[in-house]
């Protein structure tokens, strides 16, 4: 699942390659992912022009000269390409946009779980949960004290809170493991057992992980002028590394699968009871 580092890297790439360019053609190939009628996509995107790409939580936002926004939430398996149109089109390519200059912007989704919206620039609130979800993790208004105030509304296990978009947006399963490892907090400990200082440390750890991971993601997914995103996270320190030594203490990393979600952590660095 693309999270903040992947989406920030993709956003930066697109701002260097498609901002200011005109859409020459639009092909809505698999309508099930579209929350705007596919025919509207096909008929009204050609001739429109991209502005500067943005990100909000797990959405990539493409503002257009027509004062509309193409909003894409890639969910679990959504992937982006920006390639020569002669490149073979993936079987589950949902959207293919021909771009001025000859390249093709493609969105593919193996499990067809993603969502694509085309809305007026002032109508983003019409997207389900847009107004009820919490702030983006990187929103400057989300200070450490605001994080503390918000997280105290929740009483569950701390990993479940981090991945709850109503608390904060942009953190998923993979980077929540990395954040908790960085903060030395057990993923299964209830929030109520954590001190205010620990919760503030968790906030700083979340920002540190995103700052650490984003350039690593960027260097792994962007080769030359092509974007051909595949999920490569070889740099992870704990997530999906069960059975390997913890890079901090050398203990064996534990891995637990529950509800189709893998949680990876170090029982030595992240004890069940806070220090």
Residue 274, pLDDT score: 63
Residue 225, pLDDT score: 76
Sign of the torsion formed by the C-alpha atoms of 197, 198, 204 and 207: negative
Q: Which residues contact 149 (CB under 8 A, 6 or more apart)?
A: none
Residue 56, pLDDT score: 97
Mean pLDDT, the chain, as a whole number?
94
Task: Residues 4-126: name the CATH superfamily.
Answer: MutM-like, N-terminal (3.20.190.10)
Residue 125, pLDDT score: 95
Mean pLDDT along residues 178-193: 97
- Domain boundaries, given as residue ranges, for the chain: 4-126, 144-266
What CATH number is given for 144-266 in this structure?
1.10.8.50
pLDDT, greater one: 228 or 104: 104
Residue 237, pLDDT score: 97
- Range with the poorest average pLDDT among 58-72, 215-229, 249-263: 215-229
**In this predicted model, what pLDDT tens digit does every residue of 27-57 receive, in sequence order?**
999 999 999 999 999 999 999 999 999 999 9
Question: Quick check: 27 and 103 in contact, CB under 8 A?
Answer: no
For 252-266, give one letter per residue: b (16+ CB within 10 A) or e.
ebbbeeeeeeebbbb
Mean pLDDT along residues 62-74: 98
> Where residue 275 falls among pLDDT bands split at 50, 70, 90?
low
With a pLDDT cut of 70, the percent of the chain lying above it is 99
pLDDT higher than threshold 70 for residue 134? yes
Mean pLDDT along residues 93-115: 96
């Amino acid at each position: 699942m693309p999270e903040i580092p992947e989406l920030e890297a993709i956003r930066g790439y697109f701002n260097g390659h498609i901002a200011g360019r005109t859409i020459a053609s639009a092909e809505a190939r698999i309508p099930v992912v579209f929350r705007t009628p596919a025919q509207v996509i096909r008929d009204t995107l050609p001739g429109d022009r991209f502005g500067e790409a943005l990100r909000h939580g797990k959405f990539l936002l493409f503002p257009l000269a027509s004062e509309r926004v193409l909003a894409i939430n890639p969910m679990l398996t959504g992937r982006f390409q920006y390639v020569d149109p002669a490149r073979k089109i993936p079987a589950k390519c949902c959207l293919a946009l021909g771009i001025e200059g000859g390249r093709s912007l493609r969105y593919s989704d193996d499990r067809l779980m993603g969502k694509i919206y085309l809305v007026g620039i002032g109508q983003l609130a019409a997207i389900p949960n847009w107004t009820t979800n919490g702030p983006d993790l990187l929103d400057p208004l989300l200070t450490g004290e605001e994080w503390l105030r918000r997280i105290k509304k929740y009483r569950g296990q701390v990993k479940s809170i981090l991945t709850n978009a109503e608390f904060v947006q942009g953190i998923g399963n993979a980077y929540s493991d990395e954040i908790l490892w960085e903060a030395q907090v057990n993923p299964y400990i209830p929030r109520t057992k954590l001190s205010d200082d620990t919760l503030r440390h968790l906030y700083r750890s979340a920002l540190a992980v995103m700052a650490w991971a984003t350039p690593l993601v960027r260097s792994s997914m962007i080769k030359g002028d092509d974007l051909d995103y595949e999920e490569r996270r070889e740099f992870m320190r704990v997530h999906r590394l069960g059975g390997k030594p913890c890079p901090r203490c050398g203990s064996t990393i534990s891995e637990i699968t529950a509800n189709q979600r893998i949680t990876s952590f170090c029982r030595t660095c992240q004890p069940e009871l806070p220090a």
